[in-house]
Amino acid sequence: MAVVGGRVLTILERGWLHRLGGGRQRLELCLTMLLVLTLGVVAFQHRIFGRDIVVTPRTAEAHIHAGYSDELDGGASRFIASGDPMRWACDVKPGAKSVYCGKDMIFDPSGRAEGIDMRTLESVTLVLDYRGPSETLRVHLKNADPLGGAAELASPKPNKVEFSVRQGRQTIVLRPSDFSVADWWLATRNFTPQLSRVQLNHVISVDIATGTDPKPGLHSIAIEKLTFRRSVVAPAALYLAILALWGALICGYILLRVHWSRQDAFEKANAEAEVRSALAGAARAAESANQTKTDFLARVSHELRTPLNAIVGYAQLMERDGVEDRHRRAVRTIHRSADHVVSLISDLLDLAKVEAGKMELHPSTFELAEFLESLVAIVQLRADEKGVPLISDVGVGLPELIAADEKKLRQILLNLLSNAVKFTDEGTVTLRVRSLETEAATAALRFEVVDTGAGIEAGDLDRLFRPFEQVGEGHKHDGSTGLGLSITQGLAGLMGAAIQVESRIGRGSRFWFDVVFSLPDGDTRDADIEPSFDASNSSIEPGARPWRVLAAEDALANQLILRAMLEPAGYEIHVVGNGREAYEAVQTGHYDVILMDARMPVMSGEAAALSIRAWEARTGRARTPMIALTGDVMAHHLAGYRASGMDGHVEKPIQIQELFAAIHNALDSESLALVEQCQ
């Protein structure tokens, strides 16, 4: 690899980059243009790689059409054809059972069961006009393996989906995840997991028919347009190729920058030898600049490699069934990498909201002493690991209750305390709280965090609260981004405060800020504050009835994760793939709690929650606790979940302790098990 890299650098140096005066700038311009091109390919991938199949009344003659019904078997339905192959009707008589009536459009007129490869199918769109008494229709995509012979062709695998319709013209969009293999077909064969999976590699026909148990009457169906949206390149393969390409480009660019840096250093060394005495100061400045650039490149390289390694590791694991013992280290690496990326994203979002002025305060009434105790307990573990005593120095005369944004105040103090512990190897870290002035309705308090760490240079104090700025020797290897103190200062500004600092090298640092809080009138602490969730055991008590959980989640990977989290703890979990299935499951079963994904096909989580709450109100059924599973955690998203009838939320990526805590709080039961043994 090193030989190949050296040859590439030599070719670039002696070739076109050497002939172009602004080679470095041109290369960076090319990378920028390639980035724009990559974004364009991602944005317009369907236009580039799309291979749609569109059937209209004008193009329908290119396919073979065959209507069918159970009339020939003595049934109670009759197929009524028309001159238009895309228009037909089914007449269903009263008292009919097991009615089937519909129309086949055959993609394989040669009869060799070759079919069409639809493994990259993205959606099936029907523009139809329906007139009839039923509320559902069915679509079958029939798949026949050409190696299966005549028997496979005679009874191809029906991948079916039943969807809702209404009177009149409408557009129906179906996703591959909506399809499943028909039960009646599976019943005629020896069941295997492979046989029950949807297959679309040799689709020989599409079948549009009446729904299960259609209502008696005339069902008139007119298809204006049938579109199979597919691509010659699967999106996952395209994204993996883009990741591989950009991974190679980034590594090559870093190598090239290192080469240029060494070349610059060599040229400067030659110039320095000629005028050593006159350029001594300039040489030291150049060396310092080069070291800064090298540190920056090393940090960027680390931050890029860690997520890329996690993505590649996960892609390799997906090729295997399950996680074996030899893969556990890879799983832990992916987990740590994902947590790191989520932390970076959270910091960037917080910084963006602070700078845009969109961060808002949400005051609540809470006990100050209890708040400070919980704050110290959070940081105590990290302090104990380093062997640094953590001192809580709370003065007298402090108010019992204050009205403030507890979450943001905790975030400010946690960041200051965490930094103090991080950069203190010997001595102590102290949290000091003092009352400055107390009036009838307000109290002015001072919060101080004092450490005996390495301290900060006086010239670096002005840069301390700037975004992405890192000062002090301790920051060189901690892997942070330099956003924490910038966000902390912004949060303090929302409260009308400003964080101040004084520090001496070798003596430590002192951070403090003064805030004026409102005092509540009497004991008006919030009644809905949830108790803390102390995780010590993950199993339901022996002999107790297992809690029944309904989980609505469309992604198979997330379904497996939920099962892996809940079933070992003794929970009985029933998984459905969309909001409509969740709504139907609630009507036929009894569940202790519902976990509802916010975004799902067919029916969203919010729509399903509204339907379930409405059904509970109509039937008098007791309200079932419902928790949203979501990656959308902005304030307006959470308000929408509450408005739809959900009782709480768990943020994705799901952390097992947060999931069990949310279930515990929703059920309000001390007998719920906790999480550490399920990690």
**H helices of 430-553, where?**
484-494
Secondary structure element (H or E) that encloses residue 582, with its range: helix 579-588
**H helices of 44-143, where?**
45-49
Evaluate the CA torsion angle 171, 177, 178, 184 in order and state its sign: positive
With contact defined as beta carbons under 8 Å apart, do 600 and 581 qualify?
Answer: no
pLDDT of residue 532: 46
pLDDT of residue 675: 36
Choose between 298 and 18: higher pLDDT: 18
Q: Across all residues in the chain, what is the average pLDDT?
A: 76
- DSSP state at residue 333: H
pLDDT of residue 152: 67
Most confident of 82-96, 131-145, 481-495: 131-145
Identify the CATH homologous superfamily for domain 364-518: Histidine kinase-like ATPase, C-terminal domain (3.30.565.10)
pLDDT of residue 677: 36
**Paired tokens of 510:** 């002192």
- DSSP state at residue 116: B
pLDDT confidence band for 297 (50 / 70 / 90): very low
Report CA-CA distances (Å) from 368 to 44, 445, 517, 525, 539: 55, 11, 11, 11, 34
161 pairs with which residues across the strands?
A: 139
Paired sense of beta strands 626-630 and 593-597, if any: parallel
Q: Over 60: is that where the pLDDT of 156 sits?
A: yes
192 pairs with which residues across the strands?
A: none
Report CA-CA distances (Å) from 239 to 121, 180, 242: 16, 26, 5
- C-alpha to C-alpha distance for 405 and 350, rounded to whole angstroms: 15
For the residues 107-113, what does the mean pLDDT come to?
A: 61
For the residues 198-221, what does the mean pLDDT come to?
A: 88
Choose between 529 and 617: higher pLDDT: 617
pLDDT confidence band for 232 (50 / 70 / 90): low
pLDDT confidence band for 669 (50 / 70 / 90): very low
Q: Which of 123-137, 180-194, 659-673 has the lowest mean pLDDT?
A: 659-673
**CATH assignment of 548-678, among 3.40.1260.10, 1.10.569.10, 2.40.30.10, 3.40.50.2300:** 3.40.50.2300
Is the bond preceding 653 in cis, omega lying within 30 degrees of 0?
Answer: yes
Q: Over 60: is that where the pLDDT of 477 sits?
A: no
pLDDT of residue 285: 67
Measured N-to-C along each axis, helices 328-356 and 280-318 cross at an angle, to the nearest 10 degrees, of: 120
Type of residue at 246: W
- C-alpha to C-alpha distance for 162 and 119, rounded to whole angstroms: 20
For the residues 495-520, what does the mean pLDDT come to?
A: 88
Q: Over 60: is that where the pLDDT of 341 sits?
A: no
Q: Which of 11-25, 82-96, 158-172, 322-336 has the lowest mean pLDDT?
A: 11-25
**Paired tokens of 476:** 């060189």
pLDDT of residue 484: 65
- Share of residues in the chain with pLDDT > 70 (%): 71
pLDDT of residue 351: 57
Report CA-CA distances (Å) from 593 to 572, 623, 674, 679: 11, 10, 16, 21
Q: Over 70: is that where the pLDDT of 357 sits?
A: no
For the residues 373-394, what does the mean pLDDT come to?
A: 88
Length of the chain: 679
Most confident of 96-110, 221-235, 606-620: 606-620
Q: Which of 133-142, 497-506, 655-664 has the lowest mean pLDDT?
A: 655-664
Choose between 657 and 84: higher pLDDT: 84
pLDDT of residue 609: 93
Residues 6+ apart with CB under 8 A from 291: none
Most confident of 4-13, 95-104, 154-163, 315-324: 154-163
- DSSP state at residue 567: G
Choose between 564 and 392: higher pLDDT: 392
pLDDT of residue 603: 92
pLDDT of residue 295: 42
With contact defined as beta carbons under 8 Å apart, do 533 and 659 qualify?
Answer: no
Instruction: Answer yes or no: pTM beyond 0.75.
Output: no
Q: Which of 234-243, 450-459, 594-603 has the lowest mean pLDDT?
A: 234-243
53-230 folds as Jelly Rolls (2.60.120)
Q: Which of 309-313, 331-335, 382-386 has the lowest mean pLDDT?
A: 309-313
pLDDT confidence band for 4 (50 / 70 / 90): very low
Q: What residue segments make up the domains of the chain, in order of their start? A: 2-44+249-301, 53-230, 364-518, 548-678
Choose between 483 and 396: higher pLDDT: 396
With contact defined as beta carbons under 8 Å apart, do 369 and 485 qualify?
Answer: no
The owner of tokens 């302790």 is 657
pLDDT of residue 299: 43
Q: Over 90: is that where the pLDDT of 643 sits?
A: yes
Examine domains 53-230 and 364-518 and report if their fold is the same. no
Residues 246-267 pLDDT 10s = 888 888 778 877 877 887 788 7
- For 24-156, list the strands marked E by DSSP: 53-55, 64-69, 77-80, 87-92, 101-106, 121-131, 136-143
Q: Over 70: is that where the pLDDT of 526 sits?
A: no
Q: Over 70: is that where the pLDDT of 120 sits?
A: yes
**Paired tokens of 334:** 């992916």
Q: Which of 45-59, 119-133, 208-222, 604-618 has the lowest mean pLDDT?
A: 45-59
**Paired tokens of 492:** 């303090």
pLDDT of residue 618: 93
- C-alpha to C-alpha distance for 278 and 184, rounded to whole angstroms: 91
Q: Which of 72-81, 189-198, 525-534 has the lowest mean pLDDT?
A: 525-534
pLDDT of residue 151: 63
For the residues 572-592, what does the mean pLDDT come to?
A: 92
Q: Over 80: is that where the pLDDT of 409 sits?
A: yes
Q: What is the DSSP string of 215-259?
A: PSEEEEEEEEEEEEEEBSS-HHHHHHHHHHHHHHHHHHHHHHHHH
181 pairs with which residues across the strands?
A: 159
